[in-house]
Amino acid sequence: MDVDIIRKQPAGQRVQPHLLDYEAACAHFSWDEARRALDGLPGDLGLNIAHEAVDRHADGARAERHALRWRGRQGEALDLSYAQLRELTSRFANALAGLGVAAGDPVFVLSGRIPALYVAVLGALKHRCVVTPLFAAFGPQPIATRMQLGQARVLVTTASLYRRKVQALRGQLPALRHVLLVPDEPGELPPDTLDWNALLASAPTRYAIGATDAQSPALLHFTSGTTGTPKGALHVHQAVVAHQATARYALDLHDGDVFWCTADPGWVTGTSYGIVAPLVLGLTLLVDEADFEAQRWYELLERERVSVWYTAPTAVRMMMKGGIQAARARRFESLRFIASVGEPLNPQAVRWGLEAFGLPIHDNWWQTETGGIMIANFAALDIRPGSMGRPLPGITAAIVRRHEDGSVAVLDAPDAEGELALRRGWPSMFRAYLHEEARYARCFAGDWYLSGDLARRDADGYFWFVGRADDMIKSSGHLIGPFEVESALMEHPAVHEAGVIGKPEPTIGELVKAFVALKPGFEASEALRRELLGFARTRLGAAVAPKEIEFSPGLPRTRSGKILRRLLKARELGLPEGDLSTLEPP
């Protein structure tokens, strides 16, 4: 098979990349050795993510180095050193203690990329709470659903987000005891809330982290499933071992780098690599509050002297759409490495990086459940554009086929298509689906974690994404569950039933399309279509709500009553309805 290859010449690069000898690194790697690269809590009290990300640097030579370099949407700027970040996170940890919040209590954080978000996440981890960052673009009901499932005890959010998305639903959240609001608009704070600024100002500046078992819960990330209820993937403090090792190898991070991860912290990428990993490595993390705007991003890359940039294929495609000259008008003298994640990166985008920045864009693969990057195109290795890359040291990946008895067979033949599986045991592997033990058990077959993604491995060990084994929709890097969208649409009095699919769209990957059957007495019209689109946006938020709605007299279903979304997708793509093999394997 002819394969397009971008040859790498590590000797000519400005910084010698990691994994110059990939085979030797894989042969000699051990997670125990990776653990020894971290300090651990003083007095042999265990392993805590916040200590590794903040306090150990604040106590050493990096104390005055910028940890966060925040840039606001209106031109504001704030730089926080590791010493300052330790003080702020200690204040928040003490504030939680003063409120009676205990280790293990769930703390939810709902905000855009503002400094308080990073202080809240790290301070809560310091207090040994279980932290869940939420996507601020969600509508009220998805937020309430996740807080109900996670039994949120504390919520940190902004005054405006609280008023718009939480206040009216607070009665649905019986476990919620404390709401801490960051003032971001004029006026008094709503009743039964606390002022974030006042709370921090009155809290002590020093905090001694208590004994932390590496296996104790630390982060709860929600992802949606086709059965409708979002899945809560639980990760432990030991995940920090994988965060630092995978960031070093897959993102080629070196001491002194300025790192920019554009992912929202409400998603796992924005937490694992937009908060934890770069700080654990003692780097400077650039944080941009504003939404995507190509010229702004080019300016930030140039002005802030970003050396490593981690972004999403949707953003790359939007920059490509604006033309190559916008990038070539800038001088990215510090930029050394670009990576992308969230959905497969097409070969044209990989090569566009060479034209725009003089650097290819390196794709990699992982999931909410894996907690960290598992397969990547590395700085020192040749790139196969369109490929996910090769497994990281410490990760064993295989292509498998499931048997009816629950076992799997490993497919060794090159280019055989099957399900991508990982040998269990890496530190950031999720430890549970919240309240769903049976569902968690189904993710494993013996020693293998079954990803649900279809892939193949070529003769040289590179993995290639083939497709999803379920109905999940990937839109602009977000993973969207169809059932959640369908449920919201069916709250409208005109809707009898709804079926939702991902419709291929070159810029964002897939757009959310809904097929709607109306109740008797309602007629399809353009006015009703617009009304339903607005109705869904109000409940779900713009990132999740459907972009297209098609009226249908009825929806295809299985005998058990489940909507045949694959059939809807086949019709949308003009495929034969009797043969869905191009959508899913048998």
The pTM of this model reads 0.86
Range of lowest pLDDT (15-29, 336-350, 498-512, 551-565)? 551-565
- In 3D space, the residue among 480, 472, 473, 477 whose CA is nearest the CA of residue 541 turns out to be 480
Strands 308-311 and 337-340 turn out to be parallel
pLDDT at 586: 20
124 pLDDT band, cuts 50/70/90, is very high
Q: What's the average model confidence in pLDDT over 81-97? A: 98
| CB-CB contact of 68 with 287 (8 Å) | yes
- Residues of the chain above pLDDT 90, percent: 78
**Which domains are delineated in the chain?**
10-24+27-456 (3.40.50.12780), 473-573 (3.30.300.30)
- In 3D space, the residue among 38, 28, 384 whose CA is nearest the CA of residue 245 turns out to be 38
Measured at the alpha carbon of residue 256, what is the angle toward residues 79 and 331, in degrees to the nearest 5?
Answer: 80
- In the three-class reduction of DSSP (H, G, I as helix; E, B as strand; rest coil), residue 506 is classed as coil
pLDDT tens digit string along 144-193? Answer: 999 999 999 999 999 999 999 999 999 999 999 999 999 999 989 999 99
pLDDT at 559: 42
- In 3D space, the residue among 395, 477, 413 whose CA is nearest the CA of residue 223 turns out to be 477
- In the three-class reduction of DSSP (H, G, I as helix; E, B as strand; rest coil), residue 509 is classed as strand
pLDDT tens digit string along 394-425? Answer: 999 999 999 988 899 999 999 998 999 999 99
Range of lowest pLDDT (314-318, 463-467, 558-562, 563-567)? 558-562
- Residues of the chain above pLDDT 70, percent: 94
547 pLDDT band, cuts 50/70/90, is very high
Is the pLDDT confidence value at 354 over 70? yes
pLDDT at 10: 53
Q: What's the average model confidence in pLDDT over 116-129? A: 98
